[in-house]
Amino acid sequence: MKLFKGHGKRGAGGAMSLIAPKLKRGSLSRGLRRRWVRGSVLIVAAALGVVIFAFSVFFYNYYYSTVRTGLEAKAKTAADFFSNYVAKSYAEYYDSAFRYTETFADGDRLELQFMDTSGRVVISSLGVTAGTQATSPEVRQTVQSGQITVWIGRRASTNERIMAVSSPVMYTDGQVVGVMRYITSLAVVDRQVLMSILAVSGAAMLVLLLVLSINLLFIRSVIAPVGEITQMSRRIADGSYGIQIENTYKDEMGEMVDAINEMSLKIAKAESMQTEFISSISHELRTPLTAITGWGETLVYNERLDEDTSGGIAIILKEARRLTKMVEELLEFTRMEDGRFTLNIETVDLSAELEDAMFTYRELFHLDALELRYEPITDTEPITLPGDPNRLKQVFFNIFDNAAKYGHEGGRIDVTVETRGDFAAVVIRDYGPGAPDDELENLKMKFYKGSNSKTRGSGIGLAVCDEIIRYHGGRLELENAQDGGFRVTIWLPLTNASALGAN
């Protein structure tokens, strides 16, 4: 026989829960990072995007306006010279244009064209375009307006991006005799604009990476303490009242840790006072209830009492027994709360213990017009496992009692037992109204009674059952059956569970 004593006292440092919940650090980390990125990094990225766009517009306008201004000044100076000193006739215009083109010094970077008023190229510094017709609209605009015009587009023969500045050449009477046109390739300018934009974009990326790195370092410094505090808070929420979080922080995080530690101590103190009060009251009630039950059992069989008196004593005896059961449950739970709960572990024939419990309750079920259906195991070998037979029978009694109280309207209770993998499963099902789905997870909480409950009770029967099964290394599942009724499944390990009694 193995004696196991519970050591899950709820208080400073202990937790009744056998399986501590695991904190999902990954989800916490991803959630904080996602919020931080949305709240800060994306704003910085958007601001840098605006800066890149502004600089791009600036570089484009700066380089293009510089080239344009230079060409316009050059074209205006040359055109004024022709208009004032040369252009007396078309023949003189042509002759002067030819000589000017021969001595043109910027032929390596510019193309100089002289055109007639119809837009035909008369003379070109490159020669290859002479005799061609200009298709760009600025030549006609120059002839019509007598003003310098600019055109940016692609050369039809090479698809090269160019800028063309056309200036009118006039007779002394103001009549346009021809057009002087300067053409330059924009490949170098576009390259300079692109390089400038790339340089600004690279600087912006470095700034963004720096901001992101700083933010990640900062958020990492926040995630670690938040994760630790969250984990400890979950332990407190799951019943480890009184535990303290080591406070190594000097900022608002430290204030939060102090508040949680203070809350944990106050809850532990209140829980301890509540447990002591329940234990004290239960012990005080136990003695008079024992006397009432004893005298009730004595008097109920007294033949000298009339029928009404006997009926009244029977009612007193029934209520005394109910109160005694409630007191026993309260005492049992206080033993679990303060660490005095014990298990006497031995090899248990699960089917035999279950059948003994059913035999005890069979007559009570019959009185409540409940049919008990039991499906024994089909294997020839009995289901044996390590456990405390008395505690397991206590669990069966509690569940049968609940099935009779809450499921009697269904008129039937089904019981099955079988092995499933490394566990034995005992399933007890009634055909009553069941429980609201949103209350299922609360039914194992102490003193909780469902909203559909119309019967009197302490509300800790299932809580006691849950703790007993947990101390056996198993679990208690509560659920509504698909076709109606309430189902309780008791899972018990077939071998000595390594988690037996572990916190």
Q: What pTM value is reported for the model?
A: 0.46
Q: Are residues 459 and 495 in the same domain?
A: yes
Q: Are residues 397 and 335 in the same domain?
A: no
Q: Could you give the CA distance from residue 317 to residue 190 in angstroms, rounded to a whole number? A: 103
Give the bridge partners for 413, in sequence order: 372, 430
Q: What is the pLDDT of residue 499?
A: 39
Q: Are residues 499 and 355 in the same domain?
A: yes
Q: What is the pLDDT of residue 85?
A: 67
Q: Could you give the CA distance from residue 312 to residue 248 in angstroms, rounded to a whole number? A: 67
| Best CA proximity match to 490, nearest among 418, 401, 407, 388 | 418
| Best CA proximity match to 490, nearest among 471, 474, 501, 468 | 474
Q: Decide if 353 contacts 389 (C-beta within 8 A).
A: yes
Q: What is the pLDDT of residue 406?
A: 80
Q: What is the pLDDT of residue 452?
A: 58
Q: What is the pLDDT of residue 14?
A: 36
Stretches in the chain below the pLDDT threshold 50? 1-26, 498-503
DSSP structure string for 249-317: --SHHHHHHHHHHHHHHHHHHHHHHHHHHHHHHHHHHHHHHHHHHHHHHHHHT-TTS-HHHHHHHHHHH
Q: What is the pLDDT of residue 428?
A: 92
Instruction: Indicate the residue among 187, 206, 221 that finishes a domain.
Output: 187
Expressed as residue numbers, the domain containing 321 is 1-17+238-340
Q: What is the pLDDT of residue 340?
A: 65
Q: Are residues 356 and 483 in the same domain?
A: yes
**Do the strands 371-375 and 412-420 form a parallel or antiparallel pair, or are they unpaired?**
parallel
Sequence-distant (6+) residues with CB within 8 A of 220 are none
Asked, for residue 394, whether it belongs to a domain, the answer is yes
CA atoms within 13 A on the CB side of 225: 17
Q: Are residues 459 and 376 in the same domain?
A: yes
Q: Decide if 16 contacts 235 (C-beta within 8 A).
A: no
Q: Are residues 117 and 245 in the same domain?
A: no
Q: Are residues 424 and 486 in the same domain?
A: yes
Asked, for residue 54, whether it belongs to a domain, the answer is no
Q: What is the pLDDT of residue 378?
A: 57
Q: What is the pLDDT of residue 213?
A: 83
Q: What is the pLDDT of residue 380?
A: 61
Structurally, the chain folds into a number of domains equal to 3
